[in-house]
Amino acid sequence: MAGMTRRTGKSKEETLIEMSEAGSPSGEENNGYHSTLDSGSQHDDAKVDKQQQSKDSVYFRDGKRRIDFVLSYVEDKDDRKQERRKLYEANMQKAGLELELEDKSESEDGKTFFLKIHAPWEVLATYADVLKIKVPFKVNDIPENREIPVGWLFTPLRLPDHVMHPDPDYFTSSFDSNKHDFFLIEDKETFFPNSTRNRIVYYILSRCPYNKEDRLNKDKRGIKRLLNNGTYTSAFPLHDCRYWVKSRDPNCESERYSLYRYWARFFRFYKEQPLNLVRKYYGEKIGIYFAWLGFYTEMLFYAAVVGLICFIYGVATYDNTVWTKEICDKDIGGEIVMCPLCDKKCGFWKLNSTCNSTWQSHLFDNTATVFFAIFMGIWVTLFLEFWKRRQARLGYEWDLVDFEEEQQRLQLRPEYETKCTSRRLNRVTQEMEPYFPVTSKCARLCLSGATVLFWISLIIASIIGVIAYRLAVFAALASVMKDSPTNKLELVGSLITPQLATSVTASCINFVIIMLLNFLYERVAIWITDMEVPKTHVEYENKLTVKMFLFQFVNYYSSCFYVAFFKGKFVGYPGKYTYMFHISNLRNEECDPGGCLIELTTQLVIVMTGKQVWGNIQEALLPWLKNWWSSRNARSHPESLYSRWEQDYDLQNFSQFGLFYEYLEMVIQFGFITLFVASFPLAPLLALMNNILEVRVDAWKLTTQFRRPVAAKAHSIGAWDEILNLIAVFSVVTNAFIVAFTSDMIPRLVYFYAYHPGTELTMQGYVNNSLSVFKISQISTESTPDPGENPAWFNSSVITTCRYRDYRYPPGHEHEYSHTMQFWHILAAKMAFIIIMEHVVFVVKFFVAWLIPDVPSDVQARVKRERYLVQEYLHNYEVDKLKKQLNQKGEEGQCICPEIAATVKHEVLSECLT
């Protein structure tokens, strides 16, 4: 076959398709289909007596051939669909697959046909060779030296060994259909795991044509197109049993039951994950996701502990802060009259009215904030570096070390092959391959980029709308709540302020807009990615990942960026306020009197918590309700009547984007706990609690609520790895700016060391020092409060000045209302802090990354050892095989080529010398 490929210049895939059109790989006609599709009498004879034999089986009616895949369809009067099915099924038989049909009369609804597919050994061996699937050839004899100190402490977390390690550890090599006796083949029916079998069958189905041989049309190929045009209603591999009970068939592994019992239940949240069993049942791609999610959750534990300690420090120092006491003191904060926070509808107010928000702000805006920001910068580096090591170990244990190159070369998307009209020679493989013209590719990329930019502009427009809402509603609430009607409410009445009410409602509205835009954009992103026609599955996922993450990054984080870095920064001062767009009467927002950090915390908590709660409801509750409704009639049937394929047919389909959305959800969460963690040290704790639930919810829904997905290989988490690294670098910058510009940490330090009164270091007088003075008579008429808006205690003849947050010279000074020198000192200190913090964290990050190798030394040694043994065993195998051939020819009296004889003689002498 390899020689034929070289002579014709065609790829192995094309050669196999031609073989499928000409006949099966084994050269024999398939006989597993005629018994169910011949005449009606033959079909009636083939029916199984429901009362005698259970249909809850994963085998054909003969009880020997395993069902590797199932297709379903509803018979209709559309002749085109019938013709497509007839041709497609005939071509499947020519490709060597064996088929068995379940008549619609056997189904629950009486109108659905189920076509069961079995791949015999010859087909599995042929395509395992093509796909370079690694299989065992020798039991691994390298000793395992991974003893954990005080391992007995982790005994309660352990699972039984038959669950954690369902198979022995083997040396593996890519399967070669010409070397059957080289591999450890005890039973051909069980040699390939079920996940590998369904992967091979799906590979065939995705490339099998549904047209006649004399009408070759590359567009008419693949199960995906047949599903899209309604020829078939579903295509899926079978679960091996019901999840809550083992299969009655002793030949069935019942791995789904083991996964549910030991993994997919919430009360197992403290147990380790059986990743080897997950990989064996679902494939490496799903296995690597759960390995990453579990590792991420473990690392979150350390961040959550440190964040909780920082929060406890804020609570413990609650009553020891001088500036909060000054604000709440009726003789200090109670005597300071503040300028109105909005035009017309806001009156003058006293500083001590913000006592509660000041206390709340101190919980997160304290000395520990700086320490935690630096800690998280180092934590994220440790997380990424240790994950690389964990990923490398899994890559070795799961035979994924050399997978990337194979996947790029072999697994072209069927959609790419059908849409490419041009072909060119691949300089590496020297084979003709599909080729997409550069001009067409550039045009599609431009349209794709314009679409993404348009949707991002929609997000920005929605954020501006929410800002306008904040400004308008704050003015209204300030007018309504000027007499503090909420104080009459018990417990929470004194905590409700116009600022808090505005911030909470705006955050909720923003969250609704975020979810709505996400819902709409998801479909757009898939459409434009399909339009670009990526070459491989990896390229397709990477393109979709970039589009979706870029959009969701702006969608989820833009409101937090606004509060952290823009709100309250461009307000102006009472005599010269700055207005939104310069033409509106909406004055730019000021921060809450307690500081913008508490508002950023509020925004972060609402969006992050809301997303996690809604995500869990959407992931768990909706599939359960859909499955409950679809199987409501069949649940009353005994097991013998409710077939295995109908049980899975009633489950939800696990789409090709299932894992993509899981990764996206976790990466967005990762952004929340790293980009803005300086404002909310409890974010890692919230994420930890969510992820403990997330692992089990994902496992539960995958095991109980979804059809078994087609197994796929993946050597890493793909493009998400680069995205996490970018977030990690960006988080250092954002947290440095949050501490410098959103927190009041730097102004306090400057006052403490440079502007404190007297000779002793003290924070006494900080509040008065941080507020500037403005003459009330100089406030413009557009900003003066309307009659009746000022509180009863305000007397304009007595109170002639008001205060505002800034560092400006007082009225009457030669530099009236211009920034003081202290303002520039504080600004210089902020910039210096950003530079120092970034450099310190980056130096530590790069040092840690350099110190920790990406691949553990023992894994490197084991990989080298395995490669050496593979070469040695292959060499010995070829030599032994050649000796047998020569001996056989010598016994038969045939002439032996002198060169071959010399080679064998040399090998024998070498063996004797060694």
Cα dist. 803→321, 606, 634 in Å?
A: 22, 32, 73
Nearest-CA neighbor of 605 among 292, 364, 296, 324? 364
Q: Are 310 and 684 in contact (CB under 8 A)?
A: no
DSSP state at residue 58? S
Q: What is the mean pLDDT of the chain?
A: 81
pLDDT above 70 (res 201)? yes
Q: What share of the chain is helix, strand, coil (3-state, %, to 5)?
A: 60, 10, 35
Residue 145 has what pLDDT?
Answer: 62
pLDDT in tens, 677-688: 888 899 999 999
Count CB atoms within 10 A of the CB of residue 30: 21
Helix, strand or coil, per DSSP, at residue 771: strand
> If you average pLDDT over residues 197-225, what whole number do you get?
80
3 state SS for 569-622: CCCEECCEECEHHHCCCCECCCCCCCCHHHHHHHHHHHHHHHHHHHHHHHHHHH
Nearest-CA neighbor of 717 among 362, 286, 106? 286
Q: What are phi and psi of 67, to 5 degrees?
A: -80, 110
Q: Are 432 and 9 in contact (CB under 8 A)?
A: yes
Residue 890 has what pLDDT?
Answer: 67
As a whole number of angstroms, the distance between CA 274 and CA 276 comes to 6
Angle, alpha carbons 434-440-441 (nearest 5°) = 75
- The token pair that represents 228 in the structure block: 């899209």
Sheet containing 337-338, strands listed edge to edge, beginning at the edge strand earlier in sequence: 349-350, 337-338, 801-805, 771-775
Residues near 13 by beta carbon (within 8 Å), at least 6 away in sequence:
130, 207, 410, 412
**pTM confidence score:** 0.85
Count CB atoms within 10 A of the CB of residue 386: 15
Element containing residue 422 per DSSP (H, E): strand 422-425
> If you average pLDDT over residues 29-40, what whole number do you get?
40
Q: Are 169 and 139 in contact (CB under 8 A)?
A: yes
> If you average pLDDT over residues 412-429, what whole number do you get?
71
Higher pLDDT, 624 or 52: 624
Q: Are 608 and 672 in contact (CB under 8 A)?
A: yes
pLDDT above 50 (res 27)? no
Helix, strand or coil, per DSSP, at residue 698: helix
User: Considering just the CA atoms, what is the radius of gyration of the chain in Å?
Assistant: 35
Residue 300 has what pLDDT?
Answer: 96
C-alpha of 886 from chain center: 57
- The token pair that represents 426 in the structure block: 């691949």
Q: Are 719 and 283 in contact (CB under 8 A)?
A: no
Q: Band the pLDDT of 698: cuts 50, 70, 90.
A: very high
Residue 791 has what pLDDT?
Answer: 86
Hey, which residues does 235 pair with through a beta bridge? 71
Higher pLDDT, 201 or 131: 201
pLDDT above 90 (res 101)? yes
* 422-425/349-350 β-pairing: unpaired
pLDDT above 50 (res 867)? yes
Cα dist. 709→229, 698, 705, 816 in Å?
A: 21, 14, 12, 71
Q: Band the pLDDT of 310: cuts 50, 70, 90.
A: very high
DSSP 229-298: TTS-SEEEPPPSS-TTS--S-TTS--HHHHHHHHTSSGGGTTSPP-HHHHHHHH-HHHHHHHHHHHHHHH
Q: Are 279 and 649 in contact (CB under 8 A)?
A: no
Greatest mean pLDDT range, 34-43, 212-221, 783-792 = 783-792
Task: Compute, in degrees rounded to 10, the torsion defined by CA atoms 742, 746, 752, 753.
Answer: -170
Q: Are 316 and 435 in contact (CB under 8 A)?
A: no
Q: Band the pLDDT of 354: cuts 50, 70, 90.
A: confident
Element containing residue 511 per DSSP (H, E): helix 498-532
> If you average pLDDT over residues 598-606, what whole number do you get?
84
pLDDT above 50 (res 703)? yes
As a whole number of angstroms, the distance between CA 532 and CA 419 comes to 11
As a whole number of angstroms, the distance between CA 704 and CA 707 comes to 8
pLDDT above 60 (res 543)? yes
pLDDT above 90 (res 419)? no
As a whole number of angstroms, the distance between CA 209 and CA 133 comes to 24
